[in-house]
Structure 1
Amino acid sequence: MTRYDVAIVGGGMAGTSLAAAIAPEARVLVIEGEDAPGYHATGRSAAFWSETYGGPGIQPLTTASGPILQVGGFLQPLGSLHIGRAGDARAVDRFIAEFAGSAVVLDRVDPATVVPGLRPEWTLGVAEPSCAYIDVAGLHAHELATARRAGAEIVTHATLETATHAGGQWTIETSGGTFRADMLVDAAGAWADMVAMRAGVRPLGMRPYRRTMVQLRTDPPVAPGLPHVADIAGGFYFKPEPGGRLWLSPHDETPTDPCDAAPEEIDVAIAIDRLEQAVDWRVEQVERRWAGLRTFAPDRHPVYGFDPRNPAFFWCAGQGGFGIQTAPAAARLAAALLLKRAPDAIVANIDAERYAPDRFDAD
């Protein structure tokens, strides 16, 4: 039986990006429970890169990922517009102040000049011109291919059942067979705490939430050049899609168990109602609806690092809704921690302690 240096549980963007980063220096196994990697959160992402998304604690990872995504051809210009009503003035001020010390460009604008049909009460606007589309499928496929070329093995249909650490190695029992590895990495997304418990590691309090998305056809059709548009109060966001379509979310976060998430009709209705309160467009048809899971640690920052009680167990989890846009930098940061080497220059100035799992260790 092959013994691996590192076994990564989870074949989504987090796990495959890390595998691609470390495979040139280690024997890597990626264990995925589904038929194909990236079925859950990765395959259902709304696919945009925004330096403000997730707040100042996430922005360094997002900003560092930008050049990597750009060079790889995974970004396309989009732009973002954060809109509000008179009662949201303080929220707008706080939002701008949060990023005042960063390189993120934010400009106050009249939102009516950007969004045709915007209802008159939406008078506040902040433009974020750096926001871009992410080719999520292309990025994930690239990371998988990179990992494989470097020798990583990807095993699907292999749900983790138990993992036991003894004699300096893990014995990993899955529905697809038994594997052995020196290090076990938890990149299991919504299942991260479950994986930890099956490995005898104390969970950190990861919580999955359901996020709803719908694809609409509107009258008039979505205007060419429309940016990503987000309610500064967090009530909705929408973005244009090819063919004059619109992707819309009510920005919901409904606590749920790890599962194959499906949209609820009430959330679809709420999304459409909030859109109609913002613009005078008529919804002609709901063409598609889906839901995905986003998983947060208790402080809503991701977790990268060795477990404080079992140094053979490494956390790569809690990426919330910003896991795709931060994946390139996060993988490089996690790889440096895991392999105990100096970080790549692009992440050298990011404080890894901010994301360390021992921040939850109360004992």
Structure 2
Amino acid sequence: MAGASLAAAIGSRASMLVLEAEASPGYHATGRSAAFWSETYGGPDIQPLTTASGPFLQAGGHLAPLGSVHIGRAADAVAMEAFLAEFADSDVVLDRVDPAAFVPGLRPEWTLGIREASCAYIDVAALHAESIAAARRGGATFVTDAAFVGAIRTAGVWSIDTKAGSFQARTLVDAAGAWADDVAARAGVRPLGLTAYRRTMVQLRTDPGAPEGLPHIADIAGRFYFKPEPGGRLWLSPHDETPTDPCDAAPEEIDIAIAVDRFEHVVDWRVAAVERSWAGLRTFAPDRLPIYGFDRDVPGFFWCAGQGGFGIQTAPAAALLAASLVLGTPPDPAVAAIDPARYSPDRF
């Protein structure tokens, strides 16, 4: 999503080549998203990018109503107050609620709730496909099965070696997700300390099934979240973060069991079946903020990495911001109020 949305935002203003390591774009993190848009997800430093992306996603028909309720027990009262304080000066609307009014069968110890009404489903596949189509309309060429081997910069031009052949470009954009540090190292650029983390997701069939109108439910302590899916199913995550080398991630049985156990301590529904499970990678910089900008030491190398778990929901605004940086043009009015310095690679 990072590379596709940036290519779409640049459009015809530059000649672009998008090199994709897999047989088709979006195989890894993009294709395994939890598929919701939440203005609080990622914290207050991410919220401006998420909020600015909302109108674009809405206009494209990529959002559908969902809502979210952050729940907690008595011991989580301090965390609840801290959560409200984090967004007190933002435009995000948060309301204290009784969580039992939103979750039938909620166990009685879950007494604290904060509603985030703006949370929405996001159609990730459609957004990704639209970004690729827009990039192609702008003249971008996509080359698949083009795993990056290395690059050398000579006289202001990158010579880029891939498994699909060799290419040249004046600017090399590193939008390689979990592999971003590896790409940098192979291009002779100092890695920035990005770490990939595995995140597990399971689809449950429950008895009773997920009720109509159930919102996204998130533990304020970060131990789980779940959301309804068509057919009365649920998508559930134990909110795990297991450091891993970049890879084709797969779920571990222990993480699936932990997810189900935590879920059963929230509601009195019976888990009838774990219908499927999968895992994806979320890649963070050391300070957990994304990285957009030219490398401090190597000319012509542009970072577009470290989007963590919020790369999809921030994609439209992040792409506009990054496009202005890579082209050296004024930012789009939609992101003009967002300071790009907080995401600069110069901070490392």
**Equivalent position to 1:150, from 138, 151, 166:** 138
How far apart are the structure 1 equivalents of 2:152 and 2:332? 32
Amino acid of the structure 2 residue aligned with 1:260: D
**Equivalent position to 1:122, from 92, 96, 110:** 110
Find the counterpart in structure 1 of residue 71 from structure 2.
83
| 1:54 has 2:48 as partner | no
Find the counterpart in structure 1 of residue 273 from structure 2.
285
| Identical pairs, percent | 74
Find the counterpart in structure 2 of residue 10 from structure 1.
none
Find the counterpart in structure 1 of residue 123 from structure 2.
135
| 1:338 has 2:326 as partner | yes
How far apart are the structure 1 equivalents of 2:344 and 2:313? 20
| 1:37 has 2:28 as partner | no
| 1:162 has 2:162 as partner | no
Amino acid of the structure 2 residue aligned with 1:254: T
State the 1:213 CA deviation.
0.1
- Structure 2, unmatched stretches of 5+, are none
**Equivalent position to 1:223, from 211, 214, 225:** 211
- Structure 1, unmatched stretches of 5+, are 1-12
Residues 271-292 of structure 1: CA deviation (Å, up to 9, x unaligned): 0000000000100011110000
**Equivalent position to 2:224, from 221, 236, 239:** 236
How far apart are the structure 2 equivalents of 1:281 and 1:351? 46
Alignment of 1:131-210 (within 5 A): 131-210=119-198
The 4+ residue runs of structure 1 with deviation greater than 2 A are: none
Residues 155-197 of structure 1: CA deviation (Å, up to 9, x unaligned): 0000000100011100000000000000000000000000000
How far apart are the structure 1 equivalents of 2:52 and 2:299? 27
How far apart are the structure 1 equivalents of 2:79 and 2:71? 10
How far apart are the structure 2 equivalents of 1:252 and 1:87? 21
State the 1:311 CA deviation.
2.3
How far apart are the structure 1 equivalents of 2:107 and 2:206? 16
State the 1:24 CA deviation.
1.3
State the 1:243 CA deviation.
0.2
RMSD between aligned residues: 0.4
**Equivalent position to 1:20, from 4, 8, 16:** 8
Amino acid of the structure 2 residue aligned with 1:239: K
TM-score with structure 2 setting the length: 1.00
Residues 188-240 of structure 1: CA deviation (Å, up to 9, x unaligned): 00000000000000000000000000000000000000000000000000000
Find the counterpart in structure 2 of residue 63 from structure 1.
51
How far apart are the structure 1 equivalents of 2:103 and 2:282? 29
How far apart are the structure 2 equivalents of 1:115 and 1:311? 53
How far apart are the structure 2 equivalents of 1:171 and 1:311? 14
Task: Determine helix, strand or coil for the equivalent of 1:320.
Answer: coil
How far apart are the structure 2 equivalents of 1:24 and 1:336? 13
